[in-house]
A and B are shown apart, each in its own frame.
Chain A
Amino acid sequence: MKHTHNPFIRIWHFYIEGFRNMTWGRTLWIIILLKLFIMFAILRVFFFQPALAGKSEAEKQHTVATSLSGERVDKPAE
């Protein structure tokens, strides 16, 4: 490998060489990437929408206040 003094390039080579020389680690990387894909691209997108997403601040306050006061709150004035 070419020697360079640029620290970023040296760090880059350090990682790339490390990955290249991995033997048992490959299966683990596949598991990690697959898991992250399932979590972020499937679960997060299709199943885990934050329940208050898309509401304005006042609506969020109103929703939580309603739960906290057992349906006794008027709609927010705004």
Chain B
Amino acid sequence: MNCEVCQLKELDVEHFEIREVLRCILHTILFHRALGLVRPKDIDLELFEITYVQCGDVELERKIDEKIDQFLDRVEKHPNKKNQICLSFYEVKNKQPTWFTNKVERLYWEQWYINLNVAQHQKGHSGKSTSSKIVVDPGAEERNVRRAALEGSLRDVLFQIIRFVNEKKDHIPPIPNLEGVSFPYEITISSSSDSAFGMEMFKRMLQTGHPTMLS
């Protein structure tokens, strides 16, 4: 089975926008992959005039928020790096235990890469607005322009997701779970210059059983 990879359009975000942007993208992807019984829930973004759809799964919301918090921590620790979140869907295959490992094998059949370029200076509503009016006013127009551009880019990302889920359907495995998010998934965080990023990719390749890699 092929692993379909979708590299979403890179977004330039500010620190305070990360949570909303990631929630929007992750929930949109999962809504299209939660093929079990769902009650769609419309969510309006606060920072943008965009409405996205959630599955209505409380556990899913909690997990996503958890990952977003981890991402935010990572961004704060590594401010000068491009950060990436990878949402992977996999199948669980019970692999025959060997003396190397007796783990359950994961067959990734779809991966989504969300690329965020976090601005270094943490401007925002909680930024320097209280320090001096002179500092805020000249940048307000620039922020509005940037915000509008980000909204357009985010909308493009959502359209990209819809196009991808429509174009790629044959690789989707049978639905194992008829409730909520039917496919097991994982969310991993990485950054471009992080050595762990390469390790994550290497680990994933081992797990997917790439023909060039030793299993």
| Genuine A/B complex | no
Q: List residues of chain A with CB under 8 Å of any chain B CB.
A: none
Q: List residues of chain B with CB under 8 Å of any chain A CB.
A: none
